[in-house]
């Protein structure tokens, strides 16, 4: 059985260079509109879908992304494996700007987001096992692809997902560090849980674009983040091509 991959692009990845687009589909969902059209085509010799999480151009803040519509539409379009690209801040020692992390755990600090498909007109209450939020086999493929290119990577870690759109305070980062978080971002949840609810394989390729608050001298500069994104997305493309062509 052929695997159909979908890539969800985050901040800095509103399009996928090298994707030969065959179709751009706007799928109507019971949960409202998706962030952007689902692009389908060939990438690295394989059929793949691409969706820009924040829209194209980048305009939807993390707390207003329609995660339910995005995940539902990708499943409807035929995806069964999702690679999520996340731009994150680093908390763990040794994780520097430009490094990758392939997290294996997540802590959800968000609030008020539509975080489940199982809430209206249910025949019975539904729970999912979310002990291990990321697909183990897809994680292994991402880790192998990063290693093949020699890119620095933390092969496990805890993703702390905050509400946004503001960046965190120093005290909040200290709390996340005490909780065991290695990286911090704003889009990891409820995306991962929604994929699990629909039975989709899901893994994150997180690119460090800045030290988290208090982890470096001075304030966090958006210019520095943009520069890190510009350089890092070329590496993201190489990793994705390796995974898809394997």
Domains of the chain: 5-116+130-245 (3.40.50.1580)
Binding-site residue positions for phosphate:
11, 53-54, 187
Cα 83 from Cα 86, distance rounded (Å): 10
Q: Is 239 within 8 Å of 232 (Cβ atoms)?
A: no
Q: What angle do CA 124, 125, 129 make, to 5 degrees?
A: 130
Reported confidence tier of residue 157, pLDDT bands at 50, 70, 90? very high
> What pTM was estimated for this model as a whole?
0.93
Average pLDDT estimate for 169-174: 98
Binding-site residue positions:
11, 53-54, 186-187, 210-212
Q: Is 156 within 8 Å of 102 (Cβ atoms)?
A: yes
Q: 107-149: per-residue pLDDT in tens?
A: 999 999 999 998 877 777 889 999 999 999 999 999 999 999 9
Reported confidence tier of residue 87, pLDDT bands at 50, 70, 90? very high
Please state the separation of Cα 194 from the chain's center in Å. 13
**Ordered alpha helix ranges (H), the chain:** 67-77, 136-148, 170-179, 191-197, 222-245
Q: Which of 7, 204, 16, 172 is nearest to 102 (CA)?
A: 204
Reported confidence tier of residue 97, pLDDT bands at 50, 70, 90? very high
Cα 39 from Cα 52, distance rounded (Å): 9
Percent of the chain topping pLDDT 70: 96
Q: In this predicted structure, what is the pLDDT of residue 16?
A: 65
Q: Which three-class secondary structure state does DSSP give residue 234?
A: helix
- pLDDT averaged over the chain? 92
Binding-site residue positions for substrate:
186, 210-212
Q: In this predicted structure, what is the pLDDT of residue 144?
A: 97
Q: What angle do CA 35, 41, 43 make, to 5 degrees?
A: 105
Cα 191 from Cα 242, distance rounded (Å): 24
Please state the separation of Cα 65 from the chain's center in Å. 12
Over 60: is that where the pLDDT of 14 sits?
Answer: no
Most confident residue range from 187-196, 222-231, 236-245: 187-196
Over 80: is that where the pLDDT of 15 sits?
Answer: no
Over 70: is that where the pLDDT of 244 sits?
Answer: yes
Peptide bond into 165 cis (omega under 30): yes
């Amino acid at each position: 059985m052929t695997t159909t991959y979908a890539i969800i692009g985050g901040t800095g990845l509103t399009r996928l260079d090298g994707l030969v687009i065959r179709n751009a589909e706007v799928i109507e969902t019971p949960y409202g509109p998706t962030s952007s059209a689902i692009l389908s085509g060939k990438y690295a010799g394989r059929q793949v879908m691409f969706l820009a999480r924040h829209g194209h151009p980048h305009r939807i803040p993390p707390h207003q992304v329609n995660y339910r519509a995005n995940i539902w539409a990708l499943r409807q379009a035929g995806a069964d494996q999702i690679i999520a690209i996340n731009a994150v801040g680093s908390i763990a020692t040794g994780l520097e700007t430009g490094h990758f992390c392939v997290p294996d755990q997540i802590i959800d600090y968000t609030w008020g987001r539509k975080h489940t498909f199982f809430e209206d007109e249910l025949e019975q209450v539904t729970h999912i096992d979310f002990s291990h939020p990321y697909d183990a086999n897809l994680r292994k493929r991402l880790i192998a692809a990063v290693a093949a290119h020699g890119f620095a990577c933390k092969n496990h870690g805890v993703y702390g997902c905050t509400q946004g759109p503001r960046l965190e305070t120093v005290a909040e980062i200290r709390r996340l560090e005490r909780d065991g978080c290695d990286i911090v971002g704003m889009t990891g949840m409820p995306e991962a849980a929604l994929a699990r609810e629909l039975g989709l394989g899901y893994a994150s390729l997180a690119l460090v674009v800045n030290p988290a608050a208090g982890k470096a001298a001075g304030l966090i500069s958006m210019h520095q983040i943009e520069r890190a994104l510009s350089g890092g997305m070329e590496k993201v493309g190489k990793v994705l091509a390796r995974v898809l062509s394997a």
